[in-house]
Amino acid sequence: MMHSRSLTLRPLAALLGALFLLPVQQAAAQNTAQQEEGLKLYGGIGWGYDDNLLRVPDNRPAFRGKRSDRWRQAEAGVVYNKRISRQRVAVVAKVSKTSFDFFKQLDYDGRDLQATWFWELGNKFEGQAGTLYERTLAPYTDFFSDQRNVRERRREWFDAGWKLHPSWKVRTGYTRDRYEYELLTQRWNNRTEKAVEAELVYRPRSGNSVGLVARRVKGEYPFRRPSTASGLTDDFTQDELKLRVNYYLGGSTTLQALGGYVRREQPSFGEGKTSGFNGRLNAYFQPRGKVSYNASVWREFAPIESTIVSYTLNRGASVGATWQATGKIKVDATAAYEQRAYEARRAFSGSGSLEDSLKTASLRATWQATRKIAVSAGWQHQARSGSQALNLGKFDANTVMVNANVLF
């Protein structure tokens, strides 16, 4: 049932632009693969309230004099999971309808589809191949508008691993992501990102592992921004050489790290090149009691849709805890902080800092009423410090959500 709950929250989370979104697409396929085989039907309903739905800065007037709004969501879908010999197929398909009380122009129909083939060939070859389609409302965290901006994402990937030795493995992968925005004023953000990578992994008998990862990402933007008269484009190339480590400290603590050297080339003021250390460290602690903990720190380059800046250097940290109160009740709490340093697209003559920060906190309780029915209620807070130099104002927002779903 956890897979169904993540699907229920995903369109809403995309709208709110939460900092600590989990990789729900990959988790969905993994959770589906762990469910019983066969075809399952899924249905859900949800209700939400946000006191600053469009993330209006404190120093700007609200759209039509109103910041808050309520919405309702209904969704239905299928979950298919089947093993055929050594092969496994996992499919999740969902349609949803979201309706707002005041900002009715934001009403939209969402669609989600993911199909994954977990393949094996003999005793030495294994991997994944899959496709994903997602249609949802884009976040308004850095976009000031009351117009509907539906975003479509298409993703295809292939991953293959070859076991050279009981302790050694070679892995290679290819991923293609394409983003398209409905709103004409946001079409400059349409892009395609292609990534290829190769990894050499060493895994001794202890179960720990270390891998050397080489990766290249190329981004292509078909539309040029009207403000870039100098001919600068948003296309970029990013090369990475990182070390991936999975380390188990006893039976209750796990450390996962991926970090190393990254060089990014993207048109901007000056040489348009930047490089340095990028990485992410995750820690998980699960003692024998009912509470488990997790924490992360990161330093990563990231593209951003702006006419003033071309990318950001994000540095952040997050903590979380899960309390299994009873066999049917679980409570999750998370908090995250991220500082974003902007790289100027052109010579910047303004005054003030080219940095801002995002803070997010959330609390959610889930009641597994029966084996097939789950009810959840959650609260989320998001705040941006803003940057006067970049015309990004400060805002605060609080959200309340209630969802119920059934898988049968």
Taking only the tens place, the pLDDT of each residue in 217-233 is 999 988 876 655 556 67
What radius of gyration do the chain's Cα atoms show?
A: 22
Q: Which two tokens stand for residue 319?
A: 């903590």
pLDDT in tens, 51-85: 999 999 998 999 999 999 999 999 999 999 999 99
Please determine, for residue 15, whether its predicted confidence score (pLDDT) is greater than 70: no
Please determine, for residue 21, whether its predicted confidence score (pLDDT) is greater than 80: no
For residues 223 and 4, give the distance between their C-alpha atoms in angstroms, rounded to a whole number: 37
Determine contact, residues 325/295, Cβ cutoff 8 Å: no
| Per-residue pLDDT at 305 | 60
- Taking CA atoms, 319 is separated from 259, 282, 332, in Å, by 19, 10, 11
- Using DSSP's 3-state secondary structure scheme, residue 36 falls into coil
Determine contact, residues 381/398, Cβ cutoff 8 Å: yes
For residues 399 and 16, give the distance between their C-alpha atoms in angstroms, rounded to a whole number: 9
| Per-residue pLDDT at 136 | 96
For residue 62, the 8-state DSSP code is P
- Taking CA atoms, 305 is separated from 143, 186, 302, 346, in Å, by 9, 9, 10, 15
Determine contact, residues 392/386, Cβ cutoff 8 Å: yes
| Per-residue pLDDT at 227 | 58
Helix 2-16 vs helix 24-34: crossing angle, to nearest 10: 170
Q: Do strands 291-303 and 309-324 pair parallel, antiparallel, or not at all (unpaired)?
A: antiparallel
Q: Report residue 19's pLDDT band, with 50, 70 and 90 as the boundaries.
A: very low
| Per-residue pLDDT at 249 | 87
Residue with token string 């295809």: 156
Determine contact, residues 394/385, Cβ cutoff 8 Å: yes
For residues 361 and 379, give the distance between their C-alpha atoms in angstroms, rounded to a whole number: 8
Please determine, for residue 133, whether its predicted confidence score (pLDDT) is greater than 90: yes
Q: Report residue 283's pLDDT band, with 50, 70 and 90 as the boundaries.
A: very high
Q: What percent of the chain has pLDDT over 70?
A: 84
For residue 224, the 8-state DSSP code is -
